[in-house]
Each structure stands twice: as structure tokens, then as C-alpha cells.
Amino acid sequence: MFHRQIIIAQKNHAFYHVPSLVVAPDGSVLAFCEERWRSPCDDTGECHIVMKKSRDHGQTWGDLVHLRRKPGAKYHMGSAVVDPHDGRVLLMCGGGWLQSADHGDTWQDWSPVVHDVAGAERGATHGSAPGMVKGYGAHRGRILWPARTIVSTDGYNDLSIPDRRQKCYSMVLYSDDHGATIRSSNYFLQGTGEACLAERMNGDLYVNARAYWGDHQRKTAVSHDGGARFMETPPDSRLREMDQGCNASLLRYPPALCGGRDILLFANPDTTGEYREHGVVHASLDGGRTWPVKKEVTPWGAWFDYSAMTVGRDGTVLLMYKTTPGMAGIPSSADGCCSMALARFDLDWIGIM
């Protein structure tokens, strides 16, 4: 089974970017992203946080809801996660973090106590993959979010690739008390950000990060202590990275839905060229050490930008990604770059069942 559709369409003055995707405790799928107002660029003067909800595993979608919106304000999208302990959806975003106790129908402020890592600014989840909950080994139940930090803001320009290479690092935020208190890991992998995070079946945590180095390699790290400290591991040249990198998505397919098998899925624009095109899904059967399976989601020449993945209660993989309004072609102007598509597929389509 494979199906694609536009779920949030670009329209006058509204350009959509930075997706995040989670499944609420009642099985509803929540799709978040930014609504950049009047400009699709990172330095747009106004940006909102929006959400859509699906009650049928991503087949149909409700109305667009604005969670953060204020004229002239910039509220950037962060990372979402569901705490299985109490069913709350926790959303890190600009304008103040949010939480929902009713499957995304209503939202309230969420203000945890945050302990920062020494030597760097507070980690931010903007552009990073959705969070996760540890399910194996020590610290089971710990909530974790991939994040990026900056070691020096003195003269820093986020639009400067040299500045990103020298001052940006990956890190992880985590909570052992259901989001009341958040602590920070060490920072690692210089010149990276917008990372993905997954757990190996032995309880280790695996980070796969966007890299700004132009060497076409995703950077990786592993934690053996539940996410407090990460050690850098060799870059993964098997997952092709663009010259200045791009956000990607990563998840563990629920073992309960696949006979206990060890399956990680990774999606990104599989190109070293100029454009974000040719979206693919890679599959690993050994915790991200090797990636023997690759399946094309969009063809060459079709825009595939930032993405996020989750798995519905029915076992369907849901991949939300930024693309053109027609899901084909490379955007030639601001008029055709920023809609949100959803690809729905199963493991049979990937070829690993």
C-alpha cells in the first residue's frame, strides 16, 4: 500500500515548513508545522504554529488550527512527543511550549524547569525530528527530544554556513518526570543540527544529524547511558546528505506490530545535488548500523524537503514532508514551494515483510 496526498496546501501569503507528526493516545494523528506569513524564507517577519488532526490513520484531515499566531510575531516549530504515562501531547515551539491532555483538541501552556548544559545556550528543537520515549533497558519511560545548541552567540549569524560549522552542535533534552523537569545532555558533533533520534533494542540511543560540512555524510553519535552523554561515531556515508544538509526523519517501527523485528526507518532527500529532491525511505534491521533497503517516495525532479515520520495504530507508516502544491517539480519561485504532503505506506511496500 502506498498513497500520497496534500494535507496542508500553500495559499496566498501562507507558506508551510518544518513538519512534526505524532499519534495521540486515542489513535488520532496530529500534524504540526510552521505557517510562514508572506514569505517562505527563514527570516520571514511573521510565523505561526498550526496543526491538523486525522481520526482515521491519516486518510482524511480536519480543519487547520492555529496554536500560536500573533501579527508581527515569529513562532517557530519545534518537536512534539506523547507521554504514554498520562497521554499528554508535549509540544516545544516558539511563543511558549504547549501541552494537550485531550488528544490535541485543546492546548494549555507547559512550563517545565529546564537545566541547561554548561558552555552553550539552551538547546532548541526547531527543525529537529519529533521526540521519543525510551522503551528498553535502564531509564525506561524517559522522554527525549533531539536538539541543537550554539556554543557562542557572539557575532553568530544563523544564515552563515561557516558560523553553523563552527558554533552549532547537536544535543538531546530529556525528562524523567513526565516533562516537569528537563535536563540537557552534553553537546557533540560540531557543525550539525536538526538531528533525528531513535533507540536501539539494547537500550542504546542513536543520533543521526544534519551536517553543514558539504561532505555528503550524515553525522552520528551513540549514548550508552540513556541520553545523558553521547559519544561521536563514524559518519554514515551510506545515507547521502546534501551539500549543506537537510532535515530528515527517523523512527523505530513498533516491534509489537512486526513480530518483534528490529526495524528502523529513515527518510531524507537522497541527493548530493543542488535541489531537495528524490525523497527515499531507508530501512535498517540492526539499529542503524547498516541500511540494506531503500525505497523511492518521490522521483528525481520532485521536491522533497523537511520531513517527519510516525506509525499509526493500524501499522501504517505516515511520512509528512514539504513539497510543491502538485507534489512534482522543483519550485522556481515562492509561488510553488511550501505545501505539506503525507505519504502513507506499509512494510510490504518498503519490501521488508
Grid cell digits, residue 19 = 513538519
Q: Is residue 21's pLDDT more than 80? A: yes
Residue 182: half-sphere exposure toward Cβ, Cα within 13 Å:
23
Q: What mean pLDDT, rounded, does the chain reach?
A: 95
pLDDT of residue 154: 85
Residue 334 has pLDDT above 90, yes or no: no
CB 21 within 8 A of CB 51: no
The pLDDT score that the predictor gives to residue 315 is: 96
- State how far the Cα of 26 lies from the Cα of 148, in Å rounded to an integer: 31
Give the cell for residue 208. Answer: 543521526
Number of separate domains in the chain: 1
- Residue 289 makes CB contacts below 8 A (sequence gap 6+) with none
**What was the pLDDT predicted at 223?**
98
- Contact call for residues 329 and 323 (beta carbons, < 8 A): no
Q: Rounded to 5 degrees, what angle do the CA atoms 23, 29, 30 make?
A: 95
pLDDT at 237: 82
Dump pLDDT digits (tens) for 193-252.
Answer: 999 999 999 999 999 999 999 999 999 999 999 999 999 999 988 899 998 899 999 999
Structural domain of residue 240, as residue ranges? 2-350
306: nearest Cα among 94, 40, 12, 37? 40
What band does 353 get if pLDDT is binned at 50, 70 and 90?
confident
3-state secondary structure of 349: helix
Write out pLDDT tens, residues 39-69.
998 889 999 999 999 999 999 999 999 999 9
Q: Write the pLDDT tens digit of every residue in 134-172.
A: 999 999 999 999 999 999 888 899 889 999 999 999 999
For the cut 80, the answer to whether the pLDDT of residue 20 exceeds it is yes
CA-nearest of 158, 197, 304 to 240 is 304
Partner residues linked to 89 by β-bridges: 82, 100
Q: φ and ψ at 163, to 5 degrees?
A: -65, -40
Q: How far apart are CA 222 and CA 230, in angstroms?
A: 5
User: Is residue 51 a contact partner of residue 340, using CB atoms and an 8 Å limit?
Assistant: no
Smallest CA-to-CA distance from 310 within 319, 302, 297, 301 is with 319
C-alpha cell at 265: 526507518
Residue 2 has pLDDT above 80, yes or no: yes
Q: What distance in Å separates the CA atoms of residue 291 and residue 238, rounded to the nearest whole number?
A: 7
Average pLDDT score over residue span 123-134? 96
Neighbours of 87 (CB within 10 A): 14
Q: pLDDT band at residue 335, thresholds of 50, 70 and 90?
A: low
Cα angle value 319/235/17 (rounded, 5°): 30
Closest C-alpha among 222, 249, 237 to residue 309 = 249
Q: How far apart are CA 256 and CA 254, in angstroms?
A: 5
Supply the pLDDT for residue 80. Answer: 97
Residues in the chain: 353
Provide the 10 A C-beta neighbour count for residue 166: 15
State the CATH number of the domain containing residue 267: 2.120.10.10
Least confident stretch, 152-166, 204-218, 263-277, 279-293: 152-166
